[in-house]
Amino acid sequence: MSTYGHYIDGEWKPVDGEVFESREPASGEKLGEFSQGGEEEVEAAVEAADEAFEEWRTWSRIDRAELMWDVYQALKDDADSLGELVSRECGKELSEGRADVVEAAHMVEWAAGDARHPNGEVVPSEVAAKDSYMRRKPRGVVGCITPWNFPVAIPFWHLAVTLVEGNTAVWKPSEHTPLCAHRVTEILDDAGFPDGVVNLVQGYGDAGAAVVDSDVDAVIFTGSAEVGEEVERKVASDPDKYCTCEMGGKNAVVVTANADLDLAVHSAVMSAFKTTGQRCVSAERVIVNEDVLEEFRERFVDAARRVKVGDPLDDDTFMGPLAGEFQMEKYMEYVDIAKDEADEVLTDRSTLEDPPNSEGFWAGPFVYEAEFDPSLRVLTEEVFGPHVGVVPYSGGVERAVEIHDATPYGLAGAIVSEDYRELNYFRDHADVGLGYANLPSIGAEVQLPFGGVKRSGSGFPYAREVIESVTHRTAWTVNNSEDVEMAQGLSAEIHTEDE
Ligand code: UN1
């Protein structure tokens, strides 16, 4: 059995002390043992990153990006094998495991390509002799805390732009996907980043908390709202730190009376069940107009009963297992809550009759129907699993959007309608950071902003927007005259006592 250590200051550390293990959620097969880091390792990593920063920041962006191109090539070359590892370690079916790696490659491509693009602005001055610029400075050491559901892509949302912009990084990946994190770090190591530029500390939430509490200059967090809000609270009380958090959602697909029902069913199935409902953009509500309710419900429930839950490594699997016991417990808790709160359970595959493997964390779609009531936990709290409520509405799209917005979250949402006025109303009024028309609520590309409103987050840890998280804008003004002339008509004369 292989054991894996942290990567600090350009070195793989020997495994000693506490370890934790990673197992395949589909089979229980053990993938490895990993050093369990805490404050001490985080401190060493931050110190290494801090030291490395002074030199790394002096490299040109283009030279820094050259290393990223090697990472890009490695991700492309390894897409199949690394994708398969993603499928093994987090249970996503093969096309999803591979897409995770492809998304990572796209983010690296974006960051490396951006290095040759302008990254500041020339700004006019009231004073002809002045030249003003908006320039960017790296913040310093960036702490990156990433989740298990996109164990390769999300680390690169955090790391790619961060490193190209001249920051160094301390990365604490999820304890549920440490082997993917190890492989990603091997790729970074092979690319030849100077020692200390990127550091990996494996471990649990206490290691993540240690990153937030350490001397990092910025934190990027992707994960649950509970933890993200804690990160935000801590950082708010520390004026030296900056944070960007991307959290969950209680996303919905709206199906209006003018929907093409083929599209509606397809979008709802993809939104609710792809990735076993474990995307932060997955939909857990389908808000359906009463005029089409009966037909939609019949077709959607039929699909939910038939989608194939299977081994993530089988080509014809639609949904793999849940990611682990922690996910199973939460999903089952909300199955019980829904049984209590909903008007009707439409299909319940929470216990599979014939699971693909007796060891895994298997669950299929759970679909209920509930009249809209904003006090229902099941309609407002995030489950993060294949658990979805059909919520009927009557009236126009305005009512659908009212229901849509009645949650504390606002990440992703979709509307299915053939009426452009309805699409536009949803686009302009729904509380979302990512909106989709006649599509599922999942599947954003890296060149788009990614993030939400309300409890779903602060900041957009994606491509162009990460630049804001990891750089300071500075206003730099140069005087080209021998005289000092001020803007706003401010006098530059220095009056003296003896005038
Ligand atoms: C997530 O669910 O945590 O938009 C990220 C998507 C993917 C990213 C999902 N590109 O579905």
DSSP labels, 198-253: EEE----HHHHHHHHHTT-SEEEEES-HHHHHHHHHHHHT-TT-EEEEE----EEE
Cite the beta strand spans of 265-309 per DSSP E. 283-289
- Collapsed DSSP state (helix, strand, coil) of residue 1: coil
Mean pLDDT confidence for 281-298: 98
Question: Which pLDDT score is estimated for 236?
Answer: 87
Question: Which pLDDT score is estimated for 461?
Answer: 67
Nearest ligand 1 atom, CA 275: 2
- How far, in Å, is the centroid of ligand 1 from the Cα of 410? 14
**Percentage of residues of the chain with pLDDT beyond 90:** 94
- C-alpha to C-alpha distance for 303 and 266, rounded to whole angstroms: 9
Every domain of the chain and the residues it spans: 3-247+457-477, 251-437
- Give just the sign of the alpha carbon dihedral 388, 389, 394, 395: negative
The identity of residue 27, as a single letter, is S
Structure tokens at 117: 């693009």
Chain-centroid distance of CA 96 in Å reads 15
Under the banding of pLDDT at 50, 70 and 90, the label for residue 405 is: very high
Mean pLDDT confidence for 174-203: 98
Pocket of ligand 1 (CB under 6 A): 103, 149-150, 279-281, 442-444
Question: Which pLDDT score is estimated for 357?
Answer: 92
pLDDT digits (tens, 9 = 90+) for 356-374: 999 999 999 999 999 999 9
Helix axes 463-470, 94-114, angle to 10 degrees: 60
Nearest ligand 1 atom, CA 149: 3
- Collapsed DSSP state (helix, strand, coil) of residue 342: coil
Mean pLDDT confidence for 153-158: 97
Is pLDDT of 97 > 90? yes
**Percentage of residues of the chain with pLDDT beyond 70:** 99
Within 13 Å and on the Cβ side, how many CA atoms surround 477? 15
Q: Which helix (H) or strand (E) holds 254?
A: strand 251-255
CATH of domain 3-247+457-477: 3.40.605.10
Tell me which residues are annotated as active site. Answer: 246, 280
- How far, in Å, is the centroid of ligand 1 from the Cα of 100? 9
Under the banding of pLDDT at 50, 70 and 90, the label for residue 239 is: confident
- Give just the sign of the alpha carbon dihedral 418, 420, 422, 428: positive
pLDDT digits (tens, 9 = 90+) for 440-476: 999 999 999 888 999 998 877 677 889 999 999 999 9
> Is the distance from CB of 173 to CB of 180 less than 8 angstroms?
yes
- C-alpha to C-alpha distance for 277 and 265, rounded to whole angstroms: 16
Q: Whose CA is nearest to atom 6 of ligand 1?
A: 443
Instruction: Mention every residue, 6+ apart, whose C-beta is less than 8 A from residue 457.
Output: 228, 244, 245, 246, 247, 411, 433, 451
Nearest ligand 1 atom, CA 442: 11
- C-alpha to C-alpha distance for 42 and 210, rounded to whole angstroms: 7
Mean pLDDT confidence for 163-187: 98
> Other CB atoms closer than 10 Å to residue 18's CB: what's the count?
12
Among residues 435, 428, 472, the alpha carbon closest in space to that of 450 is found at: 435
- How far, in Å, is the centroid of ligand 1 from the Cα of 442? 6
Q: Whose CA is nearest to atom 9 of ligand 1?
A: 279
Nearest ligand 1 atom, CA 147: 3
The identity of residue 405, as a single letter, is D
Mean pLDDT confidence for 485-498: 94
Is pLDDT of 326 > 90? yes
- How far, in Å, is the centroid of ligand 1 from the Cα of 280? 6
Is pLDDT of 1 > 70? no
The identity of residue 105, as a single letter, is A
CATH of domain 251-437: 3.40.309.10
- C-alpha to C-alpha distance for 43 and 63, rounded to whole angstroms: 28
- How far, in Å, is the centroid of ligand 1 from the Cα of 175? 19
Among residues 475, 473, 472, 451, the alpha carbon closest in space to that of 462 is found at: 451
Q: CA-based angle 202:321:82, to the nearest 5?
A: 50
Instruction: Mention every residue, 6+ apart, whose C-beta is less than 8 A from residue 407.
Output: 250, 374, 379, 380, 454
This prediction has a pTM of 0.96
- C-alpha to C-alpha distance for 92 and 15, rounded to whole angstroms: 29
Average model confidence (pLDDT) across the chain: 96
Q: Which residue has the higher pLDDT, 1 or 36?
A: 36
Mean pLDDT confidence for 262-291: 98
- C-alpha to C-alpha distance for 277 and 467, rounded to whole angstroms: 30
Among residues 1, 38, 43, 31, the alpha carbon closest in space to that of 17 is found at: 38
Range in 377-386, 398-407, 460-469, 476-485 the model is least confident about: 460-469
Instruction: Mention every residue, 6+ apart, whose C-beta is less than 8 A from residue 370.
Output: 338, 341, 342, 343, 376, 378, 379, 389, 390, 391
pLDDT digits (tens, 9 = 90+) for 409-444: 999 999 999 999 999 999 999 999 999 999 999 999
- C-alpha to C-alpha distance for 193 and 69, rounded to whole angstroms: 12
pLDDT digits (tens, 9 = 90+) for 25-65: 999 999 999 999 999 999 999 999 999 999 999 999 999 99
Helix axes 79-90, 61-77, angle to 10 degrees: 70
